[in-house]
Amino acid sequence: MTFYKRAAYAIAEHGFLEALCRGARKLSKEPEIPPVDLDRLKEEYAESVRVFREKTSGIDFQGLDRFLWYHTVDLGNGIVTPGRYDYRSALSKFRFPEDMCGMNVLDIGSATGFFSFEFERRGARVVSVELPSISDWDMPAGEDKEKTLRDLMEFHGVRSVEEVHYLHLEGPFRFCHTLLRSSVKRCYSTVYDLSLEKLGLAAFDMIFLGDLLLHLFSPLEALSTVAPLCRGKLIIFQKIPDVTERQPLMVYLGGETRKGDSRTWWYPNRTCFVQMLRRLGFRTVDFVSEYEVVTRPDGACNTRAVIHAAK
């Protein structure tokens, strides 16, 4: 499409002023992030795996050599988990309070637990939420779900869903929890079933949802469940689709047939997030930053937004 046709299309869809503003925003954007040096990334990741195995060779912990490390976590004494996602250098992007002493913080879908342990390090009382079983992931019932679970069992080289859950989620968290001598409380629940009674605290000053809503069948139901638990700030971290913001949209990512991890369902756009969160009682909804996330070792890149909502 020529420049003139693109301009005419933008004016027809959004009006002249909005099209002009969009063009200005594009022109004012920072230069694109250079492509990832994949060979270097793979070498660095392989080295992190080697060092981790060397440092933990004398530690007797069930399944340690087969854990899936979702997060990179510094456990001290030179032991750093070789996580697929390393957020250590990007913490400023999240705008968490530096001092969390006296705060009750809820980390929902915490996986290996990087953020839970970081909140604890900053002084918070932390509850980490994970599923009772990996089979509780939101997946279409029947053959679709069964195939996903079979693939996970094959990936981990095990014969049961319970073993997958341990190697994929529970074991890595417990290992970090033990070495850090952490007091983070683990709660087993789907997000839809959360309650203050189950979580054991009166209310939460901060709730963190990191890369969770896109994996849920019902993002609005999840937010509606979480909202009453929050007396302070809700922080959401996830990808936002590159679609028009004039109307609230939630883009479906599941496809017609099962492929890939088959666990990414929805990307709400910014307008959709604002309207949902305000409907649920959050007076302010701010998009405070964006962060380019690089997955290790494959080098996949995605831009995530950090959203702060307050009552």
- What backbone torsions phi and psi does residue 33 show, to the nearest 5 degrees? -70, 130
Identify whether 26 is part of a domain: no
The residues pairing with 130 across neighbouring beta strands, listed in sequence order, are 188
Amino acid present at 135: S
Identify whether 24 is part of a domain: no
Give the mean model confidence (pLDDT) for residues 150-166.
Answer: 96
Euclidean distance between CA atoms 241 and 255, whole angstroms? 16
Q: What is the pLDDT of residue 34?
A: 58
pTM confidence score: 0.87
Domain count of the chain? 1
Residue 294: strand, helix, or coil:
strand
Identify whether 239 is part of a domain: yes
Identify whether 168 is part of a domain: yes
Identify whether 230 is part of a domain: yes
pLDDT at 280 over 60: yes
Query: How many alpha carbons lie under 13 Å from residue 282 in its C-beta half-sphere?
Result: 28
Identify whether 235 is part of a domain: yes
Q: What is the pLDDT of residue 21?
A: 40
CB 192 within 8 Å of CB 218 = yes
CATH number for the domain including 238? 3.40.50.150
Identify whether 17 is part of a domain: no
Identify whether 11 is part of a domain: no
Residue 105's domain comprises 37-310
Give the residue from 127, 257, 231 showing the smallest Cα distance to 183.
127
Euclidean distance between CA atoms 112 and 72, whole angstroms? 8
Out of 7-16, 71-80, 209-218, 268-277, which region has the weakest mean confidence (pLDDT)? 7-16
Give the residue from 208, 221, 224 showing the smallest Cα distance to 278.
224
Euclidean distance between CA atoms 74 and 180, whole angstroms? 9
pLDDT at 158 over 60: yes
Q: pLDDT tens, 90-117?
A: 999 999 999 999 999 999 999 999 999 9
